[in-house]
Amino acid sequence: MQTLFNDILAGLQAIPLFDGHTHLTPGRLSARGVHDILLYHMVISDLYAAGCPNGARLTEFPGFPTDDEGRARMIEALPYYPRIRNTSCMWGVRIILHDLFGWDAPVTADNWERLDAIIRERTGDRAWERTMLRKAGIRKLATELSRRDAQGRDDDLFDFSVEWAFFTRTQRGEFDTALYELERCWGLPPGTPIPHGAHGRPAPARTIQTLDDVQAALAHYVAQLAAAPVSSLATHISTDIQFGAVSDAEMAAALTRRAIAGPCERDIYASYIHDAFLTALEPHAARIAFHCSFCAEPMPHETASLAPQRALADFADVAAQHPAIRFVVMVASRHGDQTLCSMCREIPNITLAGYWWHNFFPGAIRQVMEERLDMLPTNKQIGFFSDAYTVEWAYAKAVMVRNQLAQVLAQKVAQGEYGMDDALAIARAILYEAAEGLWGMTPAKELVDAPG
């Protein structure tokens, strides 16, 4: 089996990847210091679980963490790294440090500044950044339109996605989030999303008070999206929300209760706005895919994997009611993935993508790969995206995914389910061709000499 695994892994190295969902910032693709690698948000969750007192992400918006913030957070986290050396997130860290920086020692209070200096030598080196992408076999990436560089640097490497308002994502302790998300975009060009676990809400320039306001704000949002140079919209669908049909009269009445809103009003606001938005998106659906995350619900800092069956059934109803929309779903639940696979077999406009957040662990990745390969055609599953914030993490996740896929395919070849040629052709279909077909992604010219 080891020989078979090695042969398949070697074949996978020659298959290019499209990375259809990242948070890379064009013009600043590489790590700005050791903190961008060792304090990637998934690693922070490991550290927080291990006892590190701060579980919050590093500063993202409106800028990047300062050197002082990065230094303080590294010093705070260093005592806890030995406790997480077993995690797959730390395997990703070791892949980056070994493969890209030639560093194999544990990171300690005595040596982390030396490692930081090594990483900073490469910061902003565009040739180095592109070399890492070629080394990963990545041919093109997608990122948020709001991160696009004003001078157009690195535009050739990217397709763009609007990740702005999250009408159907909940925040802890809030019941009017759908309204707030819509009104904070009203009258403005596409901007940045509100982070998970945000505390406090800046007052929007305009406030929704009536049904006419809802419709006007939504019309503005859709017009901005339709005019944007994007191939997808990225958003989240909360499993807390119970979706249903909402009449104009019910929505208007719920608006009068905003000051005392609870779960009932939350569901009304989200259901009404979501359905109206999808209806308005339909004329643009051939160009703009609806890319949504699912089954990760807010905790104080990040999220937990929650996938009630009722929420999965609600999603099936929503997708079936809007057959023109291409729903590309990133799911953060193992059992939720199996349910969604069964939906994909009966609802043609649902596709599943990658291994998101609470599924990005080797055991979960292999399970998800195996059940999708058994249950779905290759054009209904996208086999990779990194969700990375730096090219180093895009590289590490590409390595990790290829390793898991090699194990899954080796087992299928060993039991006679696939031949070797079929296994590699199937891998190419889900790693490259599915994203090419769903999003129209085409290789970046400068990356065409990548493997494959």
Tell me the C-alpha distance between 168 and 171, whole Å.
Answer: 10
Tell me the Ramachandran region of residue 68: left when phi exceeds 0, alpha when psi lies from -120 to 50, beta otherwise.
alpha
Tell me the C-alpha distance between 437 and 41, whole Å.
Answer: 31
One pLDDT digit (tens) per residue for the chain, 452 residues: 899 999 999 999 999 999 999 999 999 999 999 999 999 999 999 999 999 999 999 988 667 899 999 999 999 999 999 999 999 999 999 999 999 999 999 999 999 999 999 999 999 999 999 999 999 999 999 999 999 999 999 999 999 999 999 999 998 889 999 999 999 999 999 999 987 766 678 999 999 999 999 999 999 999 999 999 999 999 999 999 999 999 999 999 999 999 999 999 999 999 999 999 999 999 999 999 999 999 999 888 889 999 999 999 999 999 999 999 999 999 999 999 999 999 999 999 999 999 999 999 999 999 999 999 999 999 999 999 999 999 999 999 999 999 999 999 999 999 999 999 999 999 999 999 999 888 788 999 888 764 44
Q: List CB contacts of 284: < 8 A, sequence separation 6 or more.
A: 222, 225, 226
Tell me the C-alpha distance between 231 and 95, whole Å.
Answer: 31
Residues in the chain: 452
